[in-house]
Each structure stands twice: as structure tokens, then as C-alpha cells.
Amino acid sequence: MVSDQALCRTQGSTANKVFQQHSSRRDVNKNIGSLDVSDNVAKVVRTVAISSPHRSIPSRVSERGGRSRFELLYGLLDPKLHSYMNFRDLRQIPVQRHLPFAALAICVIIQICGIAFLSQGHANLDTQEYLSISKSLVEGNGYGVVGASFTDFDAFRGESPTRMRQPGYPFYLVLFYWLTGQSDLIVQISQVILNLLTLVVAYRIALGVYGERSRNATLLLLAAYFPLWVTSAFILTESLFTFLLVSTMYLLWRATTTQSKLLYFGATGAGFAALLLTRPIAMLPCLLCVIPLWVHLGFRKSVRWWGLQAAVCLLLVAPWFIRNSVSLGDYTPLSSDAGYNLWYSSVPDNAPKWFDSPQFAEAVGDGYYLDRAADERFTQKAIVNIKANPVSYAARALVRPFWTWSYFPGSRQYRDLTALFMALNVVHYAILLLAAVGITTTSRRDLAYLLLPVVSLSIVLTVSKGISRFIVPAMPFVLILAGQGIDRIWRLARRRT
């Protein structure tokens, strides 16, 4: 049997002749020359990279105890095979050695500024709800609202047990707020870490989908898009939900591109369960993810793997469903805020939607606008409003997602500052335009994957409030497309020059 060394020498000799015929390939020379490897292995890599960039890696060229240098180099050269590359490998590329750290530094600086200047304390009603529920858990009173004193709802004293909010973030606050001395700063620091991980995972998705062509533009766009990162300043679900969404989408991408499908599809199902237990709007991407699976794997395989993924998700959500069924008699795993959101969407845009609305006051009564009784009354009033003018409701439902995407997140509060408002929206429209260019250069398979969060959260807006908070978690995927758009425009410009 031929030894590995003899095989390498034979391949190296043949590769050397082929490489001499293709000496004009400067890009291959540059990539290989910058890495510290043996001549024979380098020549083999050059030959494979030139002659067949998608050839499978020979199993003979390997090292004991781990991946071979051949596999490492091939993964670095071929942007379509990033399963052979991890962030330890990135340190071998000079361009990428500093930029990721600069992006992380930008992200940290933005978050420090957000914590310093944007923190709202506990003034937000959502924050008060999450803290009240988590406090009840710590005090041993179960999952409920006990002795509440919510702003503008003086008559409301609590609801226990409750399903006012999904349990993910209240349990998060138990760990990082109540068990750490009731410090907002600890929660904010933990959310800073989550945001940094979100940046890393989103960048990893971009590398996996597009390779290294648009890595610099995408990384800088992700790092500089401050609405994603200032969320760490607030005691709200945004940082946790965005991290879970990006991480779950990464697992879904790995499930479609790796041989270890059972492991990754199971992990994806767990990710969707965590999303659903954090925000009920995650139910739609859980269902619609069958579409990118269909495009990637075909109909039969997609149904089979989606079934496994859904089974894992349902298994993990089942305890919360059983708890609601037994304790409350409500056969649902969702929170009791759907009624208010549906009613909000059924009211004309210029109509009052708080205590200055007679319908709101009637639905709330002496309770709270998200308690179970108010949820039922809001649902009934929403149905009446929709039946009264279904055409108008349908028109508003179709327009609302586009209107929500039409302005820079958080910029509406600066409408009086015309210059700032216009500048932010110029940036926003530039990002959307670049993303549109990126869409035109993206394959159908990758496009079905990247647009899943964007389309899912946009559909939710048709039956809910049209506020930018709901679309910010989808922005990493828009920015990935925008990075590809920049790369496309840059390449076209270089061809003309």
C-alpha cells in the first residue's frame, strides 16, 4: 500500500507541473504564500483550487489527532465550504485578524453610550411587568403579578397566576437581576454580552452564505447599526430575543449544509422553543421555516426534518402549555397580549388607542390592559371593528408592514429635529436599497433562508402594532444582504475602471 508521504510526494510533483502552467493565477499564489505550510501540501491545494474548486477533500491527506492542514486551507480558499473554518482559523488571515476586534470594539462603545444616555430605569410598562413577574417567582408566589403598581393603572393590584408575558425573560431576570442584588447594571452587562454574541453569529452567517467576498462590508454594517446594540440599555426582551433569533437561524443554516442533520435540526427545534417562550411572535418563523428547508432539501426531506424540528420545539414548549391549561384553563402556550394588539390594529391610525379611547377604557375596566379578562374583551371589540369595515382593515393591514419599514427605528421621536430625522432616514433607505441589490445577486436557496425572519416579523405587523421594535431583530439579515449589495456595487465599479 502506498504510504501517505509517497502519495503527497506524487501529488506534489504533479501539482508542481500544473501550477507552473497556471502561474498567472496571482490570487492563488497570494492566498497560499501567506500561510505557513509545507511545499507539497501548498502545491496540492493550488492544483485543487485551480482545477476543481468544489472537489471533495481527499481522505488520505490528513494528520493524526484532528483536521489536516489541507482541509484547513481548502476551507479558507473555498468560500462555499466554510464548514472547515472557524474563528481560530481566521487569525491566520491578516485582513480578518484586526477587523473583527475593531467591530466588537465599536459594538461595545455603542452599548456603553446607550447605557449611559438612554437608560429609562423602570418607567416602561413592559419593564414593570417583567420585573413584577420575576419578583413573584423569587418570592415563591408562582408565575404571577402580585401587589403590582403599574403606571396609569392604579386600580390594578395583580393577577396570579397569569400568562401576561412569556416566561423566557422573567426567568432571565431572576438570574441576572434578583439573584445578583437587583442591579440594572448587571442585566445590562449580560445583555451587552448577548449583543456581542449576536454580532459574531450574524457575521458567521454572512461568511457561510456569501463566503469572504463581502465580509468586511457586512461586518462594519453590523457593528455600526446602533439600534441593534442600544437595546442592551433597556430591561426589555430585545437583546435576548435577537440573540436567540440569530442563533437559531445559524443552527438552521448549519442543519441544511452539514452531514450532522439530526443534531442540528434538534438544536434548531430547541432554539425555536426558546424563541417562542420569549416572545409569541416567534410562532410564525417556527412554521414558515419549512419554506427554506423545502428549497434546500426538497419536499420530502424538508417535511421529515421540519417534523423532527417541530417535535423538539413542541416537547420543550409543552410544560408551559400544560401549566396554562391546568392553572388557568387556557389551552394555549401564548401570552395574553394578543387581544390588545389585534384591537390596536383594528382601530384607524388616527383614532385614540389609550385611555382617551372609550373602547380601551371599557375593555380594561379596573384591571390591566394585558390581563386575561381584558384580553378577551379586546378580542371581541377587535372582531366587531373588523366586521364593521373589513375592506378598510385589510387595507391598513397590508400597508402597515411597509409603513413600519419606511423609517429608521426610533427616529419618529426626532421628527421635530428635521435635519436629524432626515439624516437617519437617508441612512435607512440606503441600507434598504443596498439590501435590494444584495437580493438580486443572492441565490434562491440563500434568499429563502435570509428573508425568513424579515418576512415572518413583517407578517406579524399586519395584525399588531406597527412599531420599529418589532422589526429590529430582523435587521441583522437585512444588513447581511446590504453587505452583499455593497460588494456587488464595488465589483461593478472596479470592472468599469
3-state secondary structure 261-296: HHHHHHHHHHHHHHHHCCCHHHHHHHHHCHHHHHHH
| Predicted pLDDT of residue 97 | 64
- pLDDT at site 96: 54
Kindly provide the b/e burial profile for residues 261-300, where b requires at least 16 CB atoms within 10 angstroms of the residue's own CB: beebbbbbbbbbbbbbbbbbbbbbbbebbbbbbbbbbeee
- Is the bond preceding 285 in cis, omega lying within 30 degrees of 0? no
pTM higher than 0.85, yes or no?
A: no
pLDDT in tens, 14-50: 545 444 544 444 444 444 344 444 444 444 444 444 4
d(CA 251, CA 274): 13
Q: Which residues of the chain have pLDDT under 70?
A: 1-97
Contacts for 251 with CB less than 8 Å, ≥ 6 apart? 264, 267, 268, 271
pLDDT at residue 392, rounded to an integer: 94
Residue holding cell 386575561? 372
What does the pLDDT read at residue 43? 45
The Cα–Cα gap between 344 and 352 comes to: 10
CA distance 65 to 57: 17
- pLDDT, residue 345, reads 94
The pLDDT of residue 27: 44
> How much is the pLDDT for 297?
92
Maximum Cα–Cα distance for the chain, whole Å?
Answer: 88
